[in-house]
Structure 1
């Protein structure tokens, strides 16, 4: 029981802060015609988080990150993608949801994978915090700890999607979501700038 509670609290602590991944999932819930059409992004983000948690617990990703050139390459790709994503969100219009021009399933999946797997901070947090914390448990306790972390991730992303879809229903004119898109784009560009300063 201790391992499960520890996993729940730890996962919530890592996932609660506003990040690019959270912003993207929330935006999909708010801009897709209905909540079901936002699920590709939600499920992809949750699956990516599941993969990162499993890698962190079993230590495979820690080996990969020993290579400095890989870390640098990951950050460069992440910065370029965030700049592009910020531009795409800035240019998008909430009103396009009504005309069926919201993000396609393929684009949702690619963006969700990118904000999950090309985010150096998320990877380092997962490995450094979850991976390290998992070392204190073995066998069944380690399994319970891992399952708790993964469950929190899935519940959180589904919740963000529902909240986004609910906000859309309250925003008939699309003005709130247009403003949110602008704020999201600025936040994403700031994240890219932060990564750039870390790189140098």
Structure 2
């Protein structure tokens, strides 16, 4: 029974985490630029582990019972996603913007940490997926199944973010061409704006 719950956690957790989102997009971009990659990976994993644990422990039900809290989280998240989408679109549409980015000083660790935390925690989809959905399913597991389900989902998070962050180096030859960066930034802009709009649909 514990093994079944563990595998359920890996399967469901992995299917939710792998989906393209703001958190994954920012981590990929930082990994390709080789800027504080391990820091970003650690933040993604820690945030997911904490939220999954909180969801299975019952926080998901509390969020569902506080719609006003979720509303303001959506407002903040949508604003942040729209702003970052504008930045990505600017780089994708205007090649000179990419040259300006190359000439500017790389962001420091505090800036990257703040951005990674924002992408991890200001997106309400994170709470709906990891806390509410995973939490409600994990909470239904009998006995120690709740613990094993949570551990499985956490393992899926650890494996995915580590693979995405460390595996991006193999894509660097592709991104040696400016056109590849423009395409990536265009995709990121669409993802950010789509997430921002979907928060209110």
TM-score by length of 1: 0.85
The residue aligned with 2:94 is none
The residue aligned with 1:154 is 158
TM-score by length of 2: 0.84
**Mapped pair 1:55 → 2:59:** no
**Mapped pair 1:20 → 2:22:** yes
The residue aligned with 2:65 is 66
**Aligned equivalents of 1:163, 1:91: Cα separation in 2:** 27
The residue aligned with 1:4 is 6
Which sections of structure 1, spanning at least 5 residues, go unmatched?
Answer: none
Which sections of structure 2, spanning at least 5 residues, go unmatched?
Answer: 92-96
Change (3 A) 1:192 1:153: same
Comparing 173-182 and 89-98, the one that deviates more: 89-98
* Aligned partner (choices 141, 151, 156) of residue 145 of structure 2: 141
Change (3 A) 1:157 1:89: same
What SS does structure 1 have at the residue aligned with 2:193?
Answer: helix
Cα-Cα RMSD: 2.3
Shift of 1:50: 1.0
Shift of 1:175: 2.8
The residue aligned with 1:75 is 74
Asked if the contact 1:32/1:102 (under 8 Å) is kept, the reply is no
Change (3 A) 1:38 1:100: farther
The residue aligned with 1:181 is 185
What SS does structure 1 have at the residue aligned with 2:177?
Answer: coil
Comparing 135-144 and 91-100, the one that deviates more: 91-100
